[in-house]
Structures are given as structure tokens and as C-alpha cells.
């Protein structure tokens, strides 16, 4: 079994300097197998990246303002203090070797790949260090990034996909929802929520340059992460990529039937804040009420080399927040105290 940064059996994709193949940037959307349209540039705010080092972060980042592609992460996990969004939950401490979560199966050998890419890796809620099982409701933030959300359609079909965590306060005080985020897509906002760490959810499309088999993959995460990973993937995987692959992120609409869907997920990373999906794949276990049902096997006619490169590059290069303890949790800052005062005011006005 090959685990990135731990195993020595073979070398993962090296971090390269410079760009990849360029290309025209597919717009990306579930159910479109070949791409070819020229992609639009990202409309969401959330990042600036030079493709390998520090990237700036927007959103709910009072605690930090940057992350590092290929960084190690780590640091001491903290408990989010009272008065802050998601108070009482743990945050931080996740390291690079935990990005894949509980288990990871080497995809170098096609026989292994076709049997199972990773045990539990296709389940929404995987990618959390030491935690298995469906859903993200009530969980902490080991990498600081929020888990992605799939939208109301998926949540209506299977509640764990919405991560619903409805609290009575949300009903008593709707104005608080947009700040603290409570309950499923409400808890983390919709896919366009710019309060999300790294900015609104975005997607990118990566198309194999091998027409037989013709394979299309989708990447979904926050804007900062997708922007950074497009650069890393272009550098590491240019040998396998079509020029129609994305060169910039496009907006992800979790409620659109043309966007990547949860049943297409083949690997979650970084506490379910990043997902790699495969066009044409339909995992019947996704919507099953039986959480122990096996995942549907991956198709046999896919570009294994591109999949291997994408999977390893995401695992190695997905941005991580550096391990230093955020200054907010030392001496409270003036903005932090102001936020606490506003929260207290809003809560008191609802009871």
C-alpha cells in the first residue's frame, strides 16, 4: 500500500517548477464526458496563488490569512472559543499525511484500482483523520477548511449528504444563520457562500489526452484550493492532460443537475473539503440507506495514469494552513471582541 509522504515503494509526482500544458479550460459540468468548451475565469473571490507556495485566503479567516501548497500543516489543535462561528468544535492540527483520511489504497496497480480506489474514500464524511462514517454534521475542522456541500437536491435524497444540523436558535433568529452557519447547506452556507474559508465553492475539469479511453475528472473545493491545485496538476500531470482541461476555476452550483454530483465522487480529501469525481461513474452506495453497502466498482475503461497523477498530486499539494497557533486565540483582538459583541446582541434579540 502506498501512502503519500510515508511509503518508499515508488515516487509520487514531483513538484515541478513552471507551468504545464496550458490549454483552453473546460467549463466543467457533470455528465459532459469530453469537454472542449473554453472555460470562463473564476468569478468567486478567495485566493491568489503563484502555483506552489503561499496562497492568500479569504472568507472566515480571522485566525489566519494564508495556506501553503505542499505545506505540512500541523500545529496544535484548538477549541473554537465562545462567540465564534462553530464555537466548541476543534480546529487545526491536521497534517499532510492525514489528508487522505482513514485509509488509502495504492492505485498504481489497475487490479487494485478497479476493485476499490480507497476504503470509505468515496463516502461524504471521509478524509477526516481517525474518523470514519457518513456525514459531516457537528464535526471539527482538522485542516481549518470547511467541508464542501452538495446542495439541497442531494440532501433531500439522503440527509447525510446535507450534513443537516438544525438548531433551535436558527429558527428563533434567522439573521444569525448567515454568520454562524447552522444546519446542512445552511450550516456551511450554499455553494456560493464567500464566507467559506478560501472563498465560494468552485470546480475544475481534467480531461485525459488519451482518446481510448476518454476520461473526464472533476475537482470541487473552495476557490483558493481549486486555483492552487489547477497549477499543481498542470505542472505534474501535463503528460496526461488534454488542452481542453481547466486553466481556471468555474463556479460550482450544488443545486444544478449539470454540476458534479456526490454519486460521482471517487475520493475525498482534507476532511471532505476537496473531492475528485469521475464523469460517468455512478456509485449506488451514495444514496443507499444501508451505510455498509459496498461502493460500486470503478469503470474499467478509464485513464488509470491520469487518475493516479491527479490523486497523488491532490494529496501532496492541497493547500494546508501552517501549524502556528492563530493569534486570535492568544490575546483577543478588537475585531474578535466586536464580533463577540454582535453575536451576543443578535442572540439576545431573539430570545
Going by pLDDT thresholds of 50, 70 and 90, the confidence category of residue 1 is very low
- Per the model's pLDDT, the better-predicted residue between 83 and 115 turns out to be 83
Instruction: Identify the burial level of 248 via C-beta atoms within 10 angstroms of its C-beta, where 0-12 means exposed, 13-18 middle and 19 or more buried.
Output: middle
Question: How confident is the model at residue 49, as a pLDDT?
Answer: 38
| Torsion angles phi and psi, residue 203, rounded to 5 | -135, 160
Which residues, 6 or more positions from 147, have their beta carbon under 8 angstroms from its beta carbon? 125, 136, 139, 163, 188, 271, 272, 273
Most confident of 17-31, 79-93, 314-328: 79-93
In the chain, count of helices (H) and strands (E)? 8, 10
CA distance 77 to 54: 21
pLDDT at residue 158 greater than cutoff 80: yes
**pLDDT at 148 (0 to 100):** 93
How many Å apart are CA 216 and CA 94, to the nearest integer? 30
> pLDDT above 90 covers what percent of the chain?
42
121-150 residue pLDDT tens: 889 998 898 888 889 988 999 999 999 999
Strand partners for 221: 202
Cα(317)–Cα(336) distance, rounded to whole angstroms? 31
Q: What is the pLDDT of residue 206?
A: 98
The x, y and z cell numbers of residue 338, run together, are: 466586536
Average pLDDT, integer, range 41-51: 39
234-285 residue pLDDT tens: 999 999 999 999 999 999 998 888 999 999 999 999 999 999 999 999 999 9
Q: How many CB atoms lie within 10 A of CB 185?
A: 22
Render pLDDT for 82-91 as a digit per residue (tens, 0 to 9).
888 888 999 9
Arithmetic mean of pLDDT over the chain? 74
Distance between CA atoms of 214 and 202, rounded to whole angstroms?
Answer: 23
Q: Give dist(CA 244, CA 262) in Å, integer.
A: 24
Helices (H), the chain: 110-115, 152-157, 168-172, 177-180, 184-187, 223-236, 304-317, 334-348
> 284-302 burial string, b = 16+ CB within 10 Å, else e?
eebeeeeeeeebeebeeeb
Question: pLDDT tens digits, residue range 167-222?
Answer: 323 333 333 333 333 334 457 888 998 989 999 999 999 999 998 888 999 999 99
The residue written with cell numbers 506552489 in the block is 52
Cα–Cα distance measured from residue 34 to residue 42, given in angstroms and rounded to the nearest whole number: 21
Is the confidence at residue 41, as pLDDT, over 60? Answer: no
Cα–Cα distance list, 155 to 19, 183, 196 (Å): 38, 11, 19
Amino acid at each position: 500500500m502506498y501512502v503519500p509522504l510515508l511509503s518508499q515503494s515508488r515516487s509520487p509526482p514531483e513538484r515541478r517548477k513552471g507551468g504545464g500544458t496550458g490549454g483552453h479550460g473546460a467549463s466543467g459540468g457533470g455528465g459532459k464526458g469530453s469537454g472542449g468548451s473554453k472555460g470562463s475565469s473564476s468569478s468567486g473571490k478567495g485566493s491568489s496563488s503563484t502555483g506552489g507556495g503561499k496562497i492568500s485566503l479569504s472568507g472566515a479567516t480571522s485566525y489566519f490569512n494564508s495556506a501553503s501548497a505542499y505545506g505540512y500543516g500541523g500545529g496544535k489543535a484548538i477549541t473554537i472559543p465562545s462567540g465564534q462561528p462553530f464555537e466548541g468544535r476543534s480546529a487545526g492540527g491536521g497534517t499532510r499525511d492525514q489528508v487522505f483520511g482513514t485509509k488509502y489504497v495504492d492505485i498504481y496497480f489497475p487490479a487494485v484500482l478497479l476493485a476499490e480506489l480507497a476504503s470509505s474514500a468515496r463516502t461524504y464524511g471521509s478524509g477526516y483523520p481517525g474518523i470514519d462514517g457518513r456525514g459531516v454534521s457537528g464535526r471539527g475542522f482538522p485542516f481549518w477548511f470547511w467541508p464542501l456541500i452538495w446542495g439541497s437536491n442531494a440532501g433531500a435524497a439522503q440527509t447525510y449528504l446535507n450534513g443537516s444540523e438544525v438548531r433551535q436558535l436558527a429558527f428563533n433568529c434567522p439573521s444569525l444563520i448567515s454568520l454562524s452557519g447552522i444546519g446542512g447547506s445552511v450550516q456551511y452556507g450554499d455553494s456560493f457562500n464567500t464566507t467559506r474559508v478560501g472563498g465560494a465553492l468552485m470546480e475544475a475539469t481534467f480531461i485525459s489526452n488519451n482518446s481510448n479511453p476518454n476520461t473526464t475528472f472533476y475537482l470541487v473545493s473552495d476557490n483558493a484550493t481549486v486555483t492552487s491545485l489547477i497549477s499543481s496538476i498542470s505542472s505534474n500531470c501535463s503528460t496526461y492532460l488534454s488542452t481542453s482541461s481547466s486553466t481556471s476555476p468555474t463556479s460550482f452550483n450544488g443545486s444544478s443537475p449539470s454540476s458534479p454530483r456526490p454519486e460521482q465522487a471517487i475520493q475525498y480529501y482534507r476532511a471532505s473539503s476537496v473531492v475528485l469525481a469521475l464523469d460517468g461513474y455512478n456509485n449506488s452506495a451514495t444514496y443507499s440507506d444501508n451505510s455498509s453497502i459496498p461502493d460500486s466498482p470503478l469503470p474499467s475503461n478509464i485513464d488509470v495514469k491520469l487518475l493516479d497523477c491527479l490523486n497523488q498530486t491532490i494529496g501532496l499539494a492541497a493547500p494546508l494552513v501552517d501549524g502556528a497557533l492563530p493569534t486570535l486565540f492568544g490575546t483577543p483582538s478588537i475585531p474578535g471582541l466586536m464580533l463577540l459583541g454582535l453575536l451576543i446582541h443578535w442572540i439576545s434579540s431573539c430570545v
